[in-house]
């Protein structure tokens, strides 16, 4: 505790310098410890999350718990930065980001499905349809394709808004995780799992009062058209001598 106090003192200084409430973040309390045959009160602290962050940042990274804490807070900070940037994007930019994530997660889902016994093209088509049927109240890929009045060559993900894409991304990522976590190793169970996860995501949307995905509007532009426009804009920026990272 004597060594720990030194780190707490540094964290308190950082808290004060950043405008924090030291008394709140580092609340002093007393506790009783046994010292031989007697007992005595000592000072202790109840720490806020921010206080924990400051202590970890001021701790010795050679200690495993400090190294893990610094890594945790670094990841959390980075995640928040990504979320903040995402919230600044317009609707089409959000669609581009979400569509790219779906492409990557669909590859992971395909691998997990294959490891679970979904082998042939027909089996995989049934597996994919099961996820959509759970999420879209029984609609298959073809049903969604027809409802959105898409051409044969169009992909349904390319004509979803950001809200619909993110719901599908959650379905895909959670199915992939569950197949691996539960070590599912037969095609029928894998297909049922995909349907169940899709239905659970739909239930969550309904529970919070969200719009059912089949009732969301179809975007005017498909993702391929938006990607072409973004690429053209990027090339123009480069031609003007501006960095690609300007936007």
Cβ distance 105 to 172 under 8 Å?
A: yes
Out of 45-49, 90-94, 182-186, 237-241, which region has the weakest mean confidence (pLDDT)?
Answer: 237-241
- Domain membership of residue 14 (yes or no) is yes
117 and 209 housed in the same domain: yes
- Domain membership of residue 82 (yes or no) is no
24 and 131 housed in the same domain: no
64 and 95 housed in the same domain: no
- Domain membership of residue 80 (yes or no) is no
Interval 59-89: pLDDT, tens: 888 888 888 888 888 878 777 887 788 888 8
Write phi, then psi, for 208 (nearest 5 degrees).
Answer: -90, 5
127 and 189 housed in the same domain: yes
Q: How high does pLDDT run on average in the chain?
A: 88
Mean pLDDT throughout 20-24?
89
Q: What pLDDT band is residue 37 in, cutting at 50, 70 and 90?
A: low
Interval 94-110: pLDDT, tens: 999 899 999 989 999 99
- According to the model, what pLDDT value does residue 6 have? 85
147 and 218 housed in the same domain: yes
Residue 49 belongs to domain spanning: 2-68
Cβ distance 57 to 70 under 8 Å?
A: yes
* Angstrom distance (rounded) from CA 171 to CA 18: 41
Out of 1-5, 149-153, 179-183, which region has the weakest mean confidence (pLDDT)?
Answer: 1-5
44 and 143 housed in the same domain: no
The number of domains in the chain is 2
- Domain membership of residue 10 (yes or no) is yes
107 and 150 housed in the same domain: yes
36 and 111 housed in the same domain: no
Task: Report the candidate in 206, 198, 200 with the shortest Cα–Cα distance to residue 134.
Answer: 198
**Region for 139 from its dihedrals, namely left if φ exceeds 0, alpha if ψ lies in -120 to 50, beta otherwise:** beta
DSSP state of 59: S
- Domain membership of residue 81 (yes or no) is no
- Domain membership of residue 78 (yes or no) is no
DSSP per-residue codes, 77-92: HHHHHHHHHHHHS-HH
58 and 105 housed in the same domain: no
10 and 122 housed in the same domain: no
Contact partners, residue 42, CB within 8 Å, separation at least 6: 1, 30, 31, 32, 33
242: pLDDT strictly greater than 70: no
101 and 199 housed in the same domain: yes
* Angstrom distance (rounded) from CA 47 to CA 23: 10
pTM for this model (two decimals): 0.68
137 and 207 housed in the same domain: yes
- Domain membership of residue 120 (yes or no) is yes
Interval 144-170: pLDDT, tens: 999 999 999 999 999 999 999 999 999
CA 75-93-144 angle, to 5 degrees, is 105
- According to the model, what pLDDT value does residue 89 have? 86
Binning the chain into helix, strand and coil, the percentages to the nearest 5 are: 70, 10, 25
Q: What pLDDT band is residue 36 in, cutting at 50, 70 and 90?
A: low
- Domain membership of residue 61 (yes or no) is yes
């Amino acid at each position: 505790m004597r060594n720990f106090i030194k780190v707490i003192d540094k964290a308190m200084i950082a808290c004060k310098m950043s405008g924090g409430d030291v008394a709140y973040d580092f609340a002093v309390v007393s506790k009783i410890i046994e010292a031989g045959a007697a007992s005595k009160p000592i000072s202790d602290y109840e720490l806020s999350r921010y206080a924990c962050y400051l202590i970890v940042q001021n701790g010795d990274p050679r200690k495993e718990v400090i190294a893990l804490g610094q890594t945790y807070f670094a990841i959390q900070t980075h995640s928040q930065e990504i979320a903040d940037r995402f919230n600044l994007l317009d609707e089409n930019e959000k669609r581009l980001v979400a569509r790219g994530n779906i492409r990557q997660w669909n590859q992971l889902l395909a691998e997990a499905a294959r490891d679970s016994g979904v082998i042939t093209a027909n089996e995989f088509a049934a597996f994919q349809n099961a996820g959509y049927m759970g999420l879209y109240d029984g609609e298959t890929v073809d049903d969604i394709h027809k409802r959105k009045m898409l051409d044969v060559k169009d992909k349904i993900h390319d004509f979803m808004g950001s809200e619909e894409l993110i719901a599908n991304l959650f379905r895909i990522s959670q199915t992939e995780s569950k197949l691996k976590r539960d070590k599912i190793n037969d095609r029928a169970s894998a297909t049922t799992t995909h349907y169940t996860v899709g239905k659970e995501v739909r239930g969550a949307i309904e529970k919070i009062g969200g719009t059912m995905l089949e009732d969301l509007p179809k975007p005017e532009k498909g993702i391929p058209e938006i990607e072409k426009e973004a690429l053209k804009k990027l090339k123009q920026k480069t031609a003007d001598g501006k960095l690609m990272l300007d936007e």
